[in-house]
Amino acid sequence: MCKNIDEALRNAKKVDISNSTFEKVDNVLKNLKYRKEEKYMKPRSIKYVAVAATLAVFLLTGAAFAADWFGLRDLVISSRTTHDDGIRYEMISLQGYANSNEYKALVEWIEFCDSYDQDRSILNEIGNNDTGIDMVYRYYGAYTPKMVDKIDEIIEKYGLSLLGESIPYDTLEEFMARISYGNFVGDTITTIPGYAYENGTFQFEGYIADYDTVNANFLDGYRLIQYDPDSVSPEDVFAPEDEFFYGLPVIFVPYGGTDEDAVVADISSGELTFVPYDGNVAIADILNAVDDDSLISFQFRYCTKGVFDYIALNINNFEDYTQWSYETACGITVNLAQSTYKSLIIVELDNAFVTVNVLGGSDEFSMPELEAFADTLDLTLLK
């Protein structure tokens, strides 16, 4: 009987859900506003704000806008510009400037998608059923043969190739081995593995430490979670994403606890267990580091030239950005842009277009810090 119950439960058939649920969700989605990314860092010191303001004035009146300097304006996809409550929301291409075939291909694809299946009747009819469309086309959001034909038409027209198969990586080592460029991100940045396409385009995410309060102990391998021992246990507060927090051990300590009270989550056996913390860094030091230090997350996108990519980035109004060019420590000049909530590093290399989307703006991540971050990238290693 028990086996039969197991079997019956395992064979449960999912019943289709009614359209009214989809309609309600669609209504919610329609009313969601474009969000601004959360600011991860505390406000900068007055000293830094003053330096940044002085530098901004200098840059705006200096050589920042040289005659043939490409700015965000040349990346904006105008057909994706929307207005909401008087605010302008814009998307930019991460493939190349407006004169590139990669940009033109993206714009043509976006315009096609915006005009195709506008009432979503085809998509709704398909639901969760298999479309039979090859995965390499599904990356672009294609769900009908007509969309596949359009993709083929675009890549032929602009002389591009498809992204190819996408492979996500579980470990940073595997990921770095796949993209084989060596350590171009330096040691002061923590990266989490991402995914790479067959044709060379790749993306990963990471965290930047606050440069003036960097705490090596924190970066070198600890994340600390405090909990209230009267109501929960470490097991209770362990979250799935904790396993992936830089791939580093997560220490749990009760509020007011000492080194002896701390335990470390260990999932190496496949089961969640906790072992006593025997690290060589005092919990108090890590606590201070976490209190004083914050991390800013970033996303790094490397788009191989000659490849048709579908990605675009929401930046709100490009006119809100201060833009300047900057020669990094590796000798390559990049374009930097910063608004109050976002910073961008953009560089066109021989074989790729690279964008770094930093989820921290001028309120907490100063211009010198953005430049310092750009300096940690050895772009000469990226072919």
Partner 1 sequence: MIELVALAKMGDKPAFDEIIRKCVPDLFRIAMSILKNKDDADDAVCDTVVKSYENIHKLNDCSFFKTWIIRILINQANSAYKKRKNILYLNDTLQEPQYEDVYDLGNDDLNTAVANLNLEYRTVITLYFFQDMKIKEIASVLQIPQGTVKWRLSKAKSILKEKLSEAPLPKHREGMGNV
| Residues making contact with partner 1 (CB under 8 A) | 1-2, 4-18, 20-22, 24-26, 28-29, 32, 34-35, 37-38, 91, 123, 127-128, 139, 141, 166, 168, 192, 194-195, 203, 205, 233, 235-241, 244-245, 270-272, 297, 299, 311-315, 357, 359
Minimum distance from residue 65 beta carbon to partner 1 (Å): 26
Of 10 and 331, which CB lies nearer to partner 1 in the complex structure?
A: 10
Minimum distance from residue 118 beta carbon to partner 1 (Å): 13
| Inter-residue contact 293 to 209 (CB < 8 Å) | yes
Other residues' Cβ atoms within 10 Å of the Cβ of residue 182: 11
Of 160 and 250, which CB lies nearer to partner 1 in the complex structure?
A: 250
Minimum distance from residue 311 beta carbon to partner 1 (Å): 6
Minimum distance from residue 368 beta carbon to partner 1 (Å): 25
Of 61 and 269, which CB lies nearer to partner 1 in the complex structure?
A: 269
**H or E stretch including 145?**
helix 145-158
Of 55 and 192, which CB lies nearer to partner 1 in the complex structure?
A: 192
d(CA 359, CA 365): 9
Minimum distance from residue 11 beta carbon to partner 1 (Å): 4
Of 79 and 333, which CB lies nearer to partner 1 in the complex structure?
A: 79
Of 69 and 274, which CB lies nearer to partner 1 in the complex structure?
A: 274
| Inter-residue contact 45 to 366 (CB < 8 Å) | no
| Inter-residue contact 71 to 335 (CB < 8 Å) | yes
Minimum distance from residue 60 beta carbon to partner 1 (Å): 26
CA dihedral over 180, 185, 187, 190, signed as positive or negative: negative
Minimum distance from residue 213 beta carbon to partner 1 (Å): 22
Query: DSSP characters for 196-217?
Result: EETTS-EEEEEEEE-GGG--HH
* Furthest-apart CA atoms within the chain: distance in Å: 81
Of 6 and 319, which CB lies nearer to partner 1 in the complex structure?
A: 6
CA distances in angstroms from 205 to 117, 246, 302, listed in the order given: 33, 10, 12
Q: Which burial class, exposed, middle or buried, applies to 296 when counting CB atoms under 10 A from its CB (0-12, 13-18, 19+)?
A: buried
**Pairing label, strands 166-168, 189-197:** antiparallel
Of 364 and 378, which CB lies nearer to partner 1 in the complex structure?
A: 364
Minimum distance from residue 366 beta carbon to partner 1 (Å): 21
The structure tokens 């606890």 sit at 257
| Both tokens assigned to 70 | 């490409």
Q: Strands, DSSP E only, in 73-150? A: 82-84, 87-93
Determine the distance from the C-alpha atom of residue 263 to the mean position of all C-alpha atoms in its chain, rounded to a whole number. Answer: 31
